[in-house]
Amino acid sequence: MTKPLLRVGLIGSGFMGKAHAFAYGTAAKVFDLPFAVELHTLADANPELARTAAEALGFARATADWRAMVASPEIDVVHVTAPNALHKEMALAAIAAGKHVHCEKPLAPRAQDAREMAEAAEARGVKTQMGFNYLCNPMLALAREMIQAGELGEIRSYRGIHAEDYMTDASAPFSFRNDPVGGGVMADLGSHALATAEFLLGPIARVMGDAVTAIAERPDGQGGRRPVETDDVARAFLRFESGASGSIEASWIAMGRKMQHDVEVYGSKGALLFTQERFNELHFYSAEDPKGRRGFRCIEAGPDHPPYGRFCVAPGHQLGFNDLKAIEMAGFLDALAGRAPEPFSFRQGLRIQGLVETVLASAREERWRDA
């Protein structure tokens, strides 16, 4: 029995565009996908760029006209990995054309735009996904499974961090990341911290935010200086609907940190520690281990932690970042085939974006806000 064809249109060929293309390549081999995937067309800013990228990434066609591509009846699903400012327009156009859409985070600079996108997709009946790739890690799936199964008992407190250092250089010019609309670290990295928190512990009910501009001005690229208003480091206290309390922090000026996406979950019977810096490990403390023999144990990813076994039959060999994207893509295709719910839809993305805005509003107003 041949599989139905899925014709993919990709907009953008930067960091995430490449990652999507890699992910399809890997997913097609690693998973038993419900579709025969055809990398149909790659759209980029100009014909030359598009052609080169299409060739490199295995797309059959290239175009500089993303509008035509998303409207084409030959395309089934559109991947939006263009600059953030364009996400909304592109996604809405694709949705209007009845295409399923995978959009990199953030959906749009403002939650109100994100809401428009989520609602458009739902109204049109197309499926959507956002790129919250860290959540595709088997070790975080294990963490959630353990929490939900009660292996940690009642969850009492949580700490989440996402810190990197790509904005530490004060001499680097003002960029889209510093744009007062949609920029800032809570949006860029804090969104991951918030998504992971809800992935593991369920809905956040209230937040109290803190947002700090650590590098007050940056070169404007034209010989002058431009004041920065967006957050370089941002924090939030959290209350979960479950009753647990917690906190998150996001920083892009954490010198030396390349991928400190950390999680600590403390329950009445156990605890979990995780860091994306060593994301093939999950550290588990069980208060039920014998006295004198207790300690955080380092569980290494292996075939016991699906879908790791799809990638490698032996434990300890480790997945890489691009493998997480392949898992993400496979999840999306399962959703398209009706095999499973959307792993992280626009609706969920909207939720995160709303949380980001609520945290920032709370920080600005210096008061707790319902989430």
- Tell which positions 214-243 bind a copy of itself, by CB under 8 A: 214-215, 232-233, 235, 237
Per CB under 8 A, the list member of 115, 226, 321, 354 interacting with a copy of itself is 321
275 binds a copy of itself (CB under 8 A): no
Q: Which residues contact 126 (CB under 8 A, 6 or more apart)?
A: 94, 95, 98, 99, 100, 101
Residue in 32, 73, 222, 224 binding a copy of itself, rule: CB under 8 A:
32
Where in 77-178 does DSSP place strands (E)? Answer: 77-80, 100-103, 128-130, 155-163
User: What is the DSSP pairing of strand 369-370 with strand 233-240?
Assistant: unpaired
Stretch that binds a copy of itself, among 70-78, 105-113, 297-305, 334-342 (CB under 8 A): 297-305
Residue 353 contacts a copy of itself per CB under 8 A: no
- In terms of DSSP bridges, do strands 270-275 and 36-43 run parallel, antiparallel, or are they unpaired? unpaired
CA distances from 178 to 186, 275, 320 (A): 12, 27, 30
278 binds a copy of itself (CB under 8 A): yes
- Phi, psi (rounded to 5 degrees) for 321: -55, -45
Q: Cα Rg for the chain, rounded, in angstroms?
A: 21
Bridge partners (DSSP) listed for residue 226: 218
Among the residue ranges 88-96, 100-108, 308-316, 341-349, the one whose residues contact a copy of itself (CB under 8 A): 308-316
Per DSSP, the three-state class of 70 is helix
Bridge-based pairing of strands 245-251 and 155-163 is parallel
Indicate whether 291 belongs to the interface with a copy of itself (CB under 8 A): yes
Site map 165..194 versus a copy of itself, x via CB under 8 A: -x-x-x------------------------
Closer CB to a copy of itself, residue 114 or residue 194?
A: 194
- Through-space distance between the first and last CA atoms of the chain, rounded to whole angstroms: 48
Instruction: Decide if residue 253 touches a copy of itself (CB under 8 A).
Output: yes
- The nearest distance, CB 371 to a copy of itself, in angstroms, is 15
Phi, psi of 131 (to 5 degrees): -90, 65
Number of residues that bind a copy of itself (CB under 8 A): 92
From 87-95, 157-165, 175-183, 345-353, give the range in contact with a copy of itself by CB under 8 A. Answer: 157-165
Instruction: Tell me the closest approach of the beta carbon of residue 122 to a copy of itself, in angstroms.
Output: 32
The answer to whether 29 contacts a copy of itself (rule: CB under 8 A) is: yes
CA 7 – CA 220 distance, rounded (Å): 42
What is the rounded distance in angstroms from the CA atom of residue 18 to the CA atom of residue 133?
14
Residue 60 in the binding site for a copy of itself (CB under 8 A): no
Does residue 203 bind a copy of itself (CB under 8 A)?
no
CB of 359 to a copy of itself, least distance (A): 12
